[in-house]
Amino acid sequence: MAHRLLLEKEVLAFAALTTVEVSSFRPVFVPLTLIALEWKECVSSSVPRLWSQLAQAYPNTLEMQMQMPPSLNLVPFKGPTLDEEMKVTIGDADYILIPHDTVVLSVTSEDGPGHTISGADLRKFRETTLNKDDVFRPEFFRHVVFYGIAADSVIFESGAEAELDSWGTKSMTFLAGDPSAKAAPGPYAGTNGRVIVPSRCYFKPSKSRPLDGVRITVKDNIDVAGHKTTLCNRAWQDLYPAKTKHAACVQVLVNAGAIIVGKAKLMAMIMREEPLECVEFTAPFNPRGDGYQISSGSSHGSAAGVASYDWLDFSIGSDTNGSGRKPAHYNGCFSIRPSAGVMNTQGVIGQFPQFDMPVFFSRDISRFSDFISAWYGDSPMLRAPSDLPVKILYPKDYLPTVNEAQTRLIDKFVNGLESALQTGRTRISLAEMWEKDCPDGRENADIAKYLEKTGSYPYYYDAYHTLQPFTQEYTKKFGKAPFIHRAMKWQWSVAKTITREERDFYWRRSEIYRRWLLEKVFEEDAEDKMTIMVLPILDGKPTYRDAELPYAFHSHLPTCTYLSWPYYILSGYSSLNMSPMMRAPEVTAIVGEIPYDSIVAERTEPMPIAVSVIGAPGMDLCLVDLVERGLKAAGIPRQVQTGRSVYGVESEIA
């Protein structure tokens, strides 16, 4: 028989949720799971006694408010104001309790043999509960209720009572009842400036709900039912109402059991907005190093959240031409940009559907395969990992980088790949291969010149025309133009000079480049092997959130064309544009840290370094498997920690 341990004898029981200060999230109402004893059993006695017992059980309670179900006729009393919630503080955590008129339970131990309870059972239960849950606290064991067992039918083995004494347990109660009762989902609740997360004790992944209890945040260009999608632009927020349904990709996660605990900030309008340019919503803080490096990329809030908070499991973002991969690099976490077409993007606001893709971030790449399987579903596009030989491409166009320490870490990972796959790297030059093949004629043999505007002009043109209804509707409703940050204004100024014919001209070039990459470089039709390419993510150097603009990425490569200070057009030749143009998956993994002398902290700080691996469309799961194997063989951790260092301690200098 299962033994359910509750928290109070004739007192409201709880172990439900905790609130945490955040910087990269906006408050959001979320479904919560709460616990309480049967109301009629719990409060049939006087409310003052209930209040007194709770206050005595938790002496450091700061404030408490309770509301009884309206069906109960209670004698009025002089005491605390009745309200719909009760807030208590235990240790350094705040807890919010919301009453139920049903039996709602806390955590369950199913290890006890029948009605016999041993010290080992209790010890295992306590250790398991505290290890898996960051909401449940040791103080909750002061009062224990064994639910589903009558007092006269339970047998305490030697050591059980001693174990309870070691917990500091002050009382035990035995309540007969159905031990299979499940915790009911609670109402919606929220607090100003804080994020509420449910206890992990209530959830158990299953085949139908593989993500049960997994906590996620959602980038604020992706619809969440009941909430506005703001794009971190106040004009957009004022114009459009709250959404009535989740984005399709979010609904899949919710159906699988994931719990949305917040919406993450993004760069305004899904467009470059560096910290000094953030005039409406403050840019999130990157927790790595000195805490004053940029978070980078429009999904910066999603990545910063995963890098900052242990209580957050995954964060959903999006990627157009680097807005998911750059944040993973700067914030020191793992990410994957999926194959185009592998999931439904309805409800994801973007600017260029051909490149826009939902992505996710996590600190643990070993959890990627399960998350991908739940999120992507049974897509016929996906290839299962196999034992086919793997060709590792090492492009001289992007490697080595100008930072020798960064290159050493990347090479350490590549060495691990070579060891795990029993093969060597193949050094190639895309520029030389292109010049040899001349896919679009001898006059276009220079790949850098050919792709100079290819990666941006179609994107700028489509984005500008996609967003024009917004400006028109806002002006009509409010009688004035909406605020648009200056990077977006610059992009629009470029877009206005692009004709439809020019847009199509450069899109044709993009398609030629895509087909050439897939056929000649990645050999996607080969049945006897798989081909992957290793790429750096930017140059490994510090970039401070108060840095003067501009700061050039890949400054040693002809991949950026400056048109108007401080902005530039990102060439199609940039490594950041390769997977979007190929519509291919790209896994970004942390391979180590390098030191830098912080001008803020005035000491040496660690800076995360990432590597990306690209494969042909459909190779999402294959890439995750290969990257995991490469990391393991190289002795590089497959899990990172939150905070200053990705490894929790000062790592070895590269």
What's the CA gap between 216 and 239, in Å, rounded? 27
Average pLDDT over residues 115-144: 79
Average pLDDT over residues 1-21: 32
What's the CA gap between 379 and 631, in Å, rounded? 27
Buried b (16+ CB within 10 A) or exposed e, 77-104: eeeeeeeeebbbebeeebbbbbbbeebb
Helix axes 404-421, 620-634, angle to 10 degrees: 100
Evaluate if residue 440 carries a pLDDT over 90.
yes
Residue 166, amino acid: S
Helix axes 248-255, 368-376, angle to 10 degrees: 120
Q: What is the pLDDT of residues 523-576, one digit of tens each?
A: 999 989 999 999 999 888 899 999 876 544 444 344 444 444 567 788 899 999
The residues spanned by each domain of the chain are 3-175, 202-376
Level-2 CATH architecture, domain 202-376: Alpha-Beta Complex (3.90)
137: confidence class by pLDDT, cuts 50, 70, 90: confident
Average pLDDT, the chain: 79
Average pLDDT over residues 131-135: 79
The full DSSP string for 7-67 is: S-SSS-----EEEEE-SSEE---EEEE--B--HHHHSSS-HHHHHHHHHHHSTT-----B-
Identify the residue whose tokens are 């398991």. Answer: 128
Asked if 224 and 246 touch (Cβ cutoff 8 Å), the reply is yes
Predicted pLDDT at 75? 31
Residue 86, amino acid: M
User: Distance of alpha carbon 174 from its chain centroid, rounded?
Assistant: 42
Q: What is the pLDDT of residues 578-591, one digit of tens each?
A: 999 999 999 999 99
Predicted pLDDT at 93? 58
Average pLDDT over residues 252-279: 90
What's the CA gap between 132 and 480, in Å, rounded? 53
Asked if 174 and 154 touch (Cβ cutoff 8 Å), the reply is yes
